[in-house]
Structure 1
Amino acid sequence: MLALEVIVAVGLAILIGAVIANRLHVTTPIVLIPLGVLLGFIPAFRDVELPPETVLLLFLPALLFRESITTSTREIRRFIRVILLNGTLLVFITAIGIAAVGTWFGLPWIVALVLGAVLAPTDATAVSELAGSLPRRQRTVLRAESLINDGTALAIYAIAVSIAVGSQQVTPLTITWTLVVSFVGGVAIGVALGLVGSLTFRIRQPLPSNVGLIVTPFAAFLVAEVVGASGVLAVVVCGLVVSRIAPRRFQPEARDQAQSFWTVTTYILNAALFVLIGLELQVVVRELPPSQLGVGLVFGVVVWIALIVIRALFVVLTTVIIRSVDRRPYQRTLRSTPRGLVIAALAGFRGAVSLAAVLAVPVTLASGKSFADRDLIVFVTTVVIVLTLAVQGPLLPVIIRWARLPADDGVDEERTFAELEASRAAVEAIPQIASEMGIDDDVRDKVIAEAQKHISVLEAVASDEPDEETTRHKEQYTRLRLAALERKRETIVNLRDQQRIDDIVLRRIQSQLDLEELRLTGRALE
């Protein structure tokens, strides 16, 4: 019964938090974490903890898959050097740097390394939630980095925990083999499962096809974990493969269902994680001895500052080195402004992956003794996560405004270009298609006239400086069409209320009208 109560409470917290965040014009994590803390004061929820296996096996595959199928593979290729450096080398440096800070606070070196591995990766879901106002370039680099660095950090984490627990003998050879299997195996399994999962696109029924798509990331994670590879990398690579294949093979109705499903599901999972982080904060505070609360809080703040400093130094140094070595004209077009580098340095958010990893640290060693300072590193990790989400999160929009980054209108320009090319190709093909299908000439001419009118509008918009009249007509056309759509909605609802049409008819027509509104306003699901 308690599980049901938790589900209802978390759901209500998400709903209330979303409303409050919208009213206050802040991101939802800033509201959801305090709501989670408040839930922890309810006696029935005082012992509710976030099981690490739930995050690793349920939340993580779904959230990472969604992130990978919606990211830009072209932008990843453009900035692959920075993404790989941040997703691998920066993770190693961060883990070692935080371990050094941990030893300064009295932790044994290997326990400090566990803490460093836990906090080394940035969180993809937190980046998407908090960095949504960034231009496409910075947002893509941060998202891609967050997708990759989880695999690197978890490989270091597994090695550090094995040494700390003493469950197996670790040598340089075993460490190298673990890293190779983790990376190479994860990538290989991701490609294989992505190709296999894409076979479900050939199923003509939308619902079974989407069931196959939903199962795919979990299957990739499962296979990778069974063979000792990185489940995170397997899911990410699987998503990238699927994103390349889906546009050609996925059926339109199935694609529409999938967009709606993943949008709602990942929103709920993402928001639930932030509420559960707030709940977990209550638990770790109670489990830590009162004498260590002050030290743990100072420890957490110092580690949080160290994470920002390490990332800032790495971003500056790698930028200087790359610009000194690579002076190609193309490379110059990829350079960020100094203020853009400040944003990159401060946008390293920690989240669910770090919390799940630290909660998964064993309670006892192989010898039967308790894991030294486990409660302290759990507390420090939670403090750092809360600080990155509650302090860095609200600061990021302010820093973005200060940075005055150039407007990123590339997506709008490319969209207009693609629509224009597609419309021209369709007009050229209509006569032949109409002839092959036996379409009457008057119907063919009507379709061509409508398409050509649409082309003339697109050509005006695509021009370097569209005239004021064209812009005004386009805005008026959109407003009038939207008003007409609203009148259509009102009419069909009245017909349903008068019992002149069935609810099934109402829903089908509403779906068509909704899609038309999304097309007109450019708010189609991505």
Structure 2
Amino acid sequence: MHTILPFLLAMIGIIVLLNMWAAKLKVAYPILLVIGGLLVSFIPGLPVVRVDPDLIFLLFLPPILFEAAWSASFKEMKKWWRIIGSYAFLVVFFTALTVAVVTNYMIPGFSIAIGFLLGGIVSPPDAVSTGAITKFVKIPKSTSAILEGESLLNDASSLIIVRFALVAVGTGQFIWQDAAISFVWMLVGGLGIGVLVGWLFTLIHKRLPADAPSNIALTIIEPYFMYWIAEEFHSSGVLAVVSGGLFMSARRLKFLDSTSRLRAYNVWESFIFILNGVVFLIIGLELPEIIEGMNARGFPLSVAIGYGVIVTVILIVARIISSYVAMFATMIFRPSVTPSTSSRKGMWTIPLILGWTGMRGVVSLAAALAIPVTLENGDAFPYRNLILFITFVVILLTLIVQGLTLPYFLKRSKAFNMMFNEEADKLAKIKMKRGLKHHILNYLKDKYKNDLPQNSNIEKFIQQWEERANDVEDKWMNEETKVIFVEILESQREYLTELNKDPSIDEEIIRQQLYQIDLEEERLKII
């Protein structure tokens, strides 16, 4: 334990440093994580880390998917459900089928079942990678909603393909009737169990008096329960986590207080970030053994890299083709939701850009690592090391090639720029603020109307909100006054730091006030 602990701490330290470097370079941190995982494989003398494949899904996927579901907008997903559904199911199956057919023809001894396994692993674009990359560039809200919803659901559909492919590889046969019944139960059972468990956890949050740390700790174990219970009933644990996460996310205001919500955001952001980094470093630590295993099976490194490049090209081309097919289908069957651009060239550019957003990431890597080392009869799982290596190459290439070029394409694309309506967004924001102020003012007048004559404090409070309601656009808080306000906040921090040196002042009081100042500065960013 004393030897492994410094190594684990060093891993987390590397992950943090890579994230800090990514922020300085203004690139998405998954890009540097995958490069870091590759570089780690060249460091001699590092211990070989082996994680039980059966534990990979259970340890890493539930919280990653739960956080993605928690962050997604269910309202936007309902609005764009046709496009999201086509990408999440039809495109994933088409991509997996294409990879299966090509690799069956290209790689000696690679069966259709093993090809489907590889295709299911590498077919889903990664939510974390896409979100981290698009953070550095503005994209239309509709596009963001489609990408979020797709990346959330395609994980479930692709991992269902992986499960069936593993059965086919292990048994050597595939019974369509049994598979169809099992597929329906995985969908229905996974969705139902996720919602049911999510509903039970919302009741627990409501009925049991808990502080913020307890609430946050409970949210961390919730996805594991959803996944485990669904798997015990032989349904989809992934779908259970997704549906349960969406159910609870839509009701978060009803069972979590503001403190829990505010703190949970930071806790979960750090938790998911570390999980992503650990998975990338694990594959880096296993790469030397993976390469050695490939050489033993007659697949030199150069040949394996070539396979990885070809599979990457297949994924990119298949996604672009699917994007154009989806656009044609939308123009024919749902012309009212077709993106409006002022030029025909812009219309043809949009599917190309959407097709270029298919970066792969930690879900594909975790799925590959979850492949069992041996079959039920004790034989080595066929082509496991090659599948792991191809998956890593796909992630490396899509993150570097697509991830680094996507922000440039988005900025240069006139089609996406024309889809923005900043003036409409600004007016909607003003309307929301005006309505909120008048709502508060009416609420105060209605609730405390009997207290007005004898309570001067209530009268002053109502007067304050009347002034705010009349100043609709908060004109006084412009960019110049924001700078001054931030300087005032920083001056307060310096004063409190000096005041904390006074032994008669409780430090907890100082920390609480510093926390309020931090909240005020965050509020300034969204005014």
Alpha-carbon distance between aligned partners in 1 of 2:176 and 2:453, rounded to the nearest angstrom: 72
Return closer, same or farther for 1:334/1:175 CA change in 2, 3 Å cut-off: farther
Which residue, out of 109, 125, 129, partners 1:126? Answer: 129
Corresponding position: 1:270 with 2:288: no
Alpha-carbon distance between aligned partners in 1 of 2:273 and 2:162, rounded to the nearest angstrom: 28
TM-fit CA distance, 1:86: 0.7
Return closer, same or farther for 1:104/1:437 CA change in 2, 3 Å cut-off: farther
2:354 counterpart residue number:
344
1:12 counterpart residue number:
13
TM-fit CA distance, 1:254: 2.1
Alignment of 1:159-174 (within 5 A): 159-166=164-171, 170-174=174-178
Q: Which amino acid aligns with 1:379?
A: F
TM-fit CA distance, 1:315: 1.0
Which residue, out of 307, 330, 333, partners 1:322? Answer: 330
Identity %: 29
TM-fit CA distance, 1:330: 5.1
Alpha-carbon distance between aligned partners in 2 of 1:432 and 1:274, rounded to the nearest angstrom: 57
Alignment of 1:190-339 (within 5 A): 190-202=194-206, 203-206=208-211, 207-289=213-295, 291-327=299-335, 329=336, 337-339=347-349
Return closer, same or farther for 1:439/1:54 CA change in 2, 3 Å cut-off: farther
TM-fit CA distance, 1:354: 1.7
Unaligned runs of 5+ in 2: none
Greater displacement, 399-408 / 112-121: 399-408
Greater displacement, 271-280 / 183-192: 271-280
* Structure 1 SS opposite 2:124: coil
Which residue, out of 385, 389, 392, partners 2:402? Answer: 392
Q: In 2, are the aligned partners of 1:200 and 1:209 still within 8 Å (CA)?
A: no
Which residue, out of 507, 513, 516, partners 1:512? Answer: 516
TM-fit CA distance, 1:180: 0.6
TM-fit CA distance, 1:332: 5.8
TM-fit CA distance, 1:412: 5.6
2:181 counterpart residue number:
177
Q: In 2, are the aligned partners of 1:110 and 1:163 still within 8 Å (CA)?
A: yes
Greater displacement, 503-512 / 41-50: 41-50
1:378 counterpart residue number:
388
1:147 counterpart residue number:
152
TM-fit CA distance, 1:316: 0.3
Alpha-carbon distance between aligned partners in 2 of 1:10 and 1:121, rounded to the nearest angstrom: 27
Corresponding position: 1:490 with 2:490: no
Q: In 1, are the aligned partners of 2:76 and 2:145 still within 8 Å (CA)?
A: yes
Alpha-carbon distance between aligned partners in 1 of 2:301 and 2:65, rounded to the nearest angstrom: 34
Alpha-carbon distance between aligned partners in 1 of 2:43 and 2:310, rounded to the nearest angstrom: 31
Q: Would you say how many aligned residue pairs link Structure 1 and Structure 2?
A: 511
TM-fit CA distance, 1:225: 1.0
1:465 counterpart residue number:
none
TM-fit CA distance, 1:435: 4.2
Q: In 2, are the aligned partners of 1:485 and 1:513 still within 8 Å (CA)?
A: yes
Root-mean-square deviation (CA, aligned residues, Å) is 2.5
Q: In 1, are the aligned partners of 2:430 and 2:473 still within 8 Å (CA)?
A: no
2:411 counterpart residue number:
401
Q: In 1, are the aligned partners of 2:56 and 2:369 still within 8 Å (CA)?
A: no
TM-fit CA distance, 1:413: 5.0
Alignment of 1:26-105 (within 5 A): 26-49=27-50, 51-105=52-106
Normalised TM-score (structure 1): 0.90
Return closer, same or farther for 1:102/1:111 CA change in 2, 3 Å cut-off: same
* Structure 2 SS opposite 1:349: coil
Normalised TM-score (structure 2): 0.90
Corresponding position: 1:419 with 2:428: no
Q: Which amino acid aligns with 1:298?
A: G
Please give the per-residue CA displacement for 1:375-397, whole angstroms capped at 9, x wherever unaligned: 22221111111111122111111
Unaligned runs of 5+ in 1: 462-469
Return closer, same or farther for 1:411/1:238 CA change in 2, 3 Å cut-off: farther
Alpha-carbon distance between aligned partners in 1 of 2:123 and 2:47, rounded to the nearest angstrom: 29
Alpha-carbon distance between aligned partners in 2 of 1:10 and 1:136, rounded to the nearest angstrom: 36
Q: Which amino acid aligns with 1:136?
A: K
Alpha-carbon distance between aligned partners in 2 of 1:53 and 1:451, rounded to the nearest angstrom: 58
Q: In 2, are the aligned partners of 1:131 and 1:347 still within 8 Å (CA)?
A: no
Corresponding position: 1:456 with 2:470: yes
Q: Which amino acid aligns with 1:362?
A: P
TM-fit CA distance, 1:29: 2.1
TM-fit CA distance, 1:85: 0.6
TM-fit CA distance, 1:433: 2.9
